Structures are given as structure tokens and as C-alpha cells.
Amino acid sequence: MSKLVISGGRKIDGTILAHGAKNSALPLLAATLLCKGESVLHNCPNLSDVDAAIKILNYLGCYCKREGNTVTVNSSVVTKNEIPDDLMREMRSSIVFLGAIIGRTGGAIVSSPGGCELGPRPIDLHISALKKMGVTIEEEHGFLKCSAIDGIIGNDITLQFPSVGATENIILAAVLAKGETVIHNAAKEPEIVDLAEFLNKCGANIFGAGNDTVRIVGVDKIGPAEHYVIPDRIEVATYLAAAAVTGSKVNVKKVNPEHMRATLSIFNECGCVLSVGDEEITIERNKRLLSVPMIKTMVYPGFPTDAGPPILTMLALADSSTLFIENIFQNRFKYIDELKRLGAKIRTYSNVALVESCKKFMGAKTAATDLRGGAALVVAALAAEGITEIDNVYHIDRGYENIERCFSNLGADIKRV
Ligand code: EPZ
């Protein structure tokens, strides 16, 4: 099991390029199942979650090729419609393949995704929507057996919660459905817009992605397309937080600041100086971080839950306290016990964390508990005086491409051993 060893307490500087968004690449890879032919995804990040999605596509009969950050998927032939348990477990978000597999083959057998580090990951919204679209779903022995023998039928769906994954699954199931599907209370994340743009390039008829109501008019078939994955707004937030905690000036390129308004306003509020271009952000912090009294994670365009761990870590070093409320996931604070090993003064109760001011972090032995919590430990370690070890780096590799190279290119003393 590899770990990161970081000697922190020093400034970083330079330019870093953001990668393509993991949470866009995954549904886009699922979408290639619907278009018979060879699709090309550029700016596709080199991550273990993306590798897992490619493994699933290959298992289903597609032929996938990766050249650097370009992934080609030939889905002319799909020979299976079930995802084996081990592949389902490798990536919690593989549930997003469900709609695409049923859309392509008329049925699917998947194991219900286990919990994950963030607590239970229910899929009730996915299931009830697909059932409304004519899919029969039997849940037995931890497996979901889905079939739509007369094809998927478009319908009017209202989501109780604007779930990102459920919105994506409904769109993927509706593209080749008979008739029209309207999603009310749809998720509005940029990754939904990216998915709709790709599918429309393939010949789908999707209207209103990025708004509360999305309309999909089913078509008989769609073809392959070439697409450029949007930048990863959460990876960028992580780099900005690292610059903020080390009192550095860092330039991040290949970003879309439009996707980051709620996050960037926090950096402004705690006294960082941002200069924002069309596709780049330069951040500089040269005085004590100011606290932000309260932060609540919300669905897009509110403050994103995934940016919570690195931002909370930054605020743990601010001049006063922050009340941090996590409204999306039940159990997203597991990393905080690890942060406290570095000296952070944080008390949590249910989904609320009271983050008190801490002058500085001291290096310690830690272990990543989940993807974004692990990234938060990297941010903390870069600020901490002395040596910090971070075990279970595999969590971080799910969502950050070669994180140690990114930070060593900025002059950080970080090694993977
Ligand atoms: C996506 O997860 C992202 N993952 C998550 O990123 C992100 O945190 C989340 O959206 C919210 O923005 C991918 O895109 C692969 P949800 P998803 O469905 O689709 C509950 C990361 O770190 N819910 O919007 O699973 C659910 O339990 C990951 O990159 C139900 O109750 O998020 C959660 O509390 C973490 N029933 C809330 O809704 C359902 O049927 C948000 O879930 C579905 C979800």
C-alpha cells in the first residue's frame, strides 16, 4: 500500500494544469454505450475510477483505448448487459451505467452498490424513476435485475431530491426511449450539461440541461461523437486551497471559473487575492486567512460538497471559527479525526463541524479515509511544519491524477513511497 510523505510548511509556486472532471468523464463513458461506433473523449483524466469504468465497458463488449488523456470507446458490439459484483464494487458510481445498459440492450443485471466512505449510497431515486419509464426491476440477493422488454417509455419524472446520478441515469435511459421524458427538480451541475452536450452531438434531443427541468425527446438511435471533458472544478478548488494554506501564489490553467462561483467567493471572503481569466485562475495569499462564519454545502450552484474537505482544512488555519454544515452526505466528516492529528481544532456533531482557529499544523502520521478527505490531508500536510505521512493513497488516486507530481511541480516536497 503506497503512502505520501510530505515535508510541509513551505511556499509553493508556479503554474498547474487542471485535468478533465472525473464526475463528467464517468457518465460520458457510460453514454458511449448508447452510440454504436467509435466515440473519442479528450481531456479524460487518468484515474482509477476512470480505469474501472473502462474495465466495465470492455467487459460489456466494447473496445476501449487510452492514449494519454484521450480515451476511445468503440461500442459497435455490446455482448453483455450485466456488471459483475467485483466491478460494481470497484466504483460506487458505476450505478450510472444502469440507464445506458438498459437503453442499449433492453435489460441489465447489476449488484446494488455497497455503501461507500461517505455513508450509505441509496439509489431509490434511480430505481423509482426507471420503473416509471417502464423498466421492471427485481431486487434479490443484493442484485438488481432490470428489464424493459417493450423498450423504455418516456415519462414525466419529478425527483424528490436533485440527485446528480439519478438525473444522469434518467437522461441516459431517455435518449433512446419511446416518446418524451421530462425531469422536474433535475440536478443542475456542470457535469449534467457536459453529458447532454455530448449526447446531443451524438444525435440525441435533450433540452434544458443545467436547469431544474430537462426534456429529452427519444430517438431511434444515436451515433458516436468526439468530445472534450470539462475541467475538474473540485480538483481546482483543491489546488487553490493548497496555495491558500501555504501563503503562496499559484496559477491554475485549463479551468472554467464559471463552474466555481460559489467556491471562488469563499477564497475571496477569507482574504485570498484571485485574478480570474477566461480559462485560468491565479491565487495569492499573503496575509492571515480570515475566517468565514458559516458555510453550508448545497446542490449546484451552491457551495459543492466535494470542495468541502479542502476548504474546511483551509479554514481550520483562519483567524477565527467557522460553522461548517454538510447538507448532502451523511458521513462526510471521517477525515476530520485525521486532520486533528495535525493539530486542527474541530468539533463535529452529526452534519455540523465547528472549526476553531489553529495557528499552525504540525506534521503527523495520517491515513486517507475517502477521496476528498484524503485530498484535504494533502492540503493540510503542505501547510504543516515537519513531516506528514498519508496512508491509503488509493482513495486519493480515485480522483486526482498523480497528485504528488502536480504538487512537486509547484516546488512541494512530496513523495509517494
Ligand atoms: C455525485 O454523486 C458525485 N459523484 C459526487 O462526487 C458528488 O459529491 C455528488 O454527485 C453531489 O454533487 C459522481 O458524479 C461520480 P447524488 P451522486 O445522487 O450522484 C442521496 C466525489 O468525491 N441520494 O446527488 O451519488 C445521496 O445519498 C463524489 O467526486 C438518495 O437518497 O450524488 C446523497 O446524500 C463524492 N437517493 C445525496 O442524495 C438516491 O437515489 C446526493 O447524492 C440518490 C442519491
What is the DSSP track for 249-305?
A: EEEEES--GGGGHHHHHHHHHTT-EEEE-SSEEEEE--SPPPP-SEEE--STTS--G
Ranges of each domain in the chain: 4-18+231-416, 22-217
Task: Show the ligand 1 pocket: residues with CB < 6 angstroms.
Answer: 22-23, 26, 93, 121-126, 161, 163-166, 187, 305-306, 328-329, 371-372, 399
Three-class DSSP category at 11: coil
Q: Give the CATH number of domain 4-18+231-416.
A: 3.65.10.10
Strands 413-416 and 4-8: antiparallel
> Which atom of ligand 1 is nearest the CA belonging to 119?
27
Say what the pLDDT of residue 115 is.
58
Between the CA of 14 and the centroid of ligand 1 the distance, in Å, is: 33
Say what the pLDDT of residue 92 is.
74
64 assigned to active site: no
Say what the pLDDT of residue 113 is.
73
> What average pLDDT does the structure give for the chain?
96
Q: Which residue has the cell 493539530?
A: 343
Between the CA of 166 and the centroid of ligand 1 the distance, in Å, is: 9
Helix (H) or strand (E) holding 237: helix 233-245
Say what the pLDDT of residue 114 is.
59
> Which atom of ligand 1 is nearest the CA belonging to 126?
40
> Which atom of ligand 1 is nearest the CA belonging to 399?
29
Pocket test for ligand 1, best of 90, 121, 125 (most atoms within 8 A of CB): 121
> Which atom of ligand 1 is nearest the CA belonging to 168?
19
Homologous superfamily in CATH for domain 22-217: Enolpyruvate transferase domain (3.65.10.10)
Closest C-alpha residue for ligand 1 atom 37: 328
CA-CA distance, 340 to 336, in Å (whole number)? 6
From the list 64, 116, 202, 406, the catalytic residue is 116
Regions of the chain where pLDDT drops below 50 = none
Say what the pLDDT of residue 142 is.
85
C-alpha cell at 74: 468503440
Tell me, yes or no, if the two domains 4-18+231-416 and 22-217 fold the same way: yes
DSSP codes, 304-333: -GGGHHHHHHHHTTSSS-EEEE--S-SS--
Closest C-alpha residue for ligand 1 atom 28: 306
Between the CA of 352 and the centroid of ligand 1 the distance, in Å, is: 19
